[in-house]
Amino acid sequence: MSNLFVRSLSALVYAFLFISAILFSAETYIGLLALFATVCSWELSKIIQIKSIIPYILLACITYISFQSTIFKYNDYLFGFTITGSFILLYLLISSKLIKTGTLTQKLFLQVIYLILPFYFLMNLPFIENTYHPNIIIYIIFIIWTNDSFAFLVGKNFGKRKLFEKVSPKKTIEGFIGGLLFSIIAGFIIGQYSGIFSILDWIIIAIIVAIFGSLGDLVESKFKRQANVKDSGTIMPGHGGLLDRLDSLFFLAPFVYLYIHYIM
């Protein structure tokens, strides 16, 4: 069986499962994300070498909270902590400093700020005034796909200057700009036909998705480079681990949540 066929089949199964869960109901969306988060936490635990049930207990807690019909009363505090944690990771990425995982406390803190809390806000992202809007997530996934595809195509054909060579040698500034521009075009098109949010809102969301999705991919690459591993796992044949597939989506989620729920 050729590697291309395996990669394509694996991607199709993943896409069908994810999109079906998103469109079927809010419960299936949250439930599948909880399963994905558990697998990603397990993969991250292997990368940073932590053996603890605490991350899984915390994931169970955020899943339970997400299933409630009312907004969690400490939501604002969780959000502030999440955004602060994301900027800490970005600082460590840009400054080329090591992400410390020497102690159990550091490892648990990393699990919380990098994975658990962002997944919580990804679960709650498509809820506007307690009403579930699955198309919001579908459109965001489409923008991510657009950004990744055109960043690869532009980078492969025109890329010369490296973006973060020490972390990801193949990513280029030209590819990043190409992905960003085509994401904006995708946002413009979505804004015309989505029926939710304005064209300007979708363009801004597309910019957030392209920038923070790319940064999320780089942060995960830094974890793997520090641990000297190529992929986060083997659950998706031909692609690696589930964390490799979802790193952009959950990292950008708090920033899109910020725009939709606090700024708009």
The domain of 94 spans 3-263
Q: How is 200-242 classified by DSSP, letter by letter?
A: HHHHHHHHHHHHHHHHHHHHHHHHHHHHT-S-S-SSBTTTB-H
* pLDDT tier for residue 3 given thresholds of 50, 70 and 90: low
Rounded distance, CA 255 to CA 213, Å?
A: 10
Mean of pLDDT over the chain: 88
Contact 180, 210 (CB under 8 A): yes
43-54 residue pLDDT tens = 999 888 888 899
* Residues linked to residue 132 through DSSP beta bridges, in sequence order: 127
Does 101 score more than 90 pLDDT? no
Task: State residue 169 phi and psi, 5-degree precision.
Answer: -60, -25
Of the candidates 1, 79, 17, which has an alpha carbon nearest to the alpha carbon of residue 261? 79
Choice among 87-96, 180-189, 206-215 with the minimum mean pLDDT: 87-96
Pairing assessment for the beta strands 127-128 and 131-132 based on DSSP bridges: antiparallel
Residue 220: predicted pLDDT: 86
24-44 residue pLDDT tens = 999 999 999 999 999 999 999
Instruction: Determine the distance from the C-alpha atom of residue 149 to the mean position of all C-alpha atoms in its chain, rounded to a whole number.
Output: 16
Tally of structural domains, the chain: 1
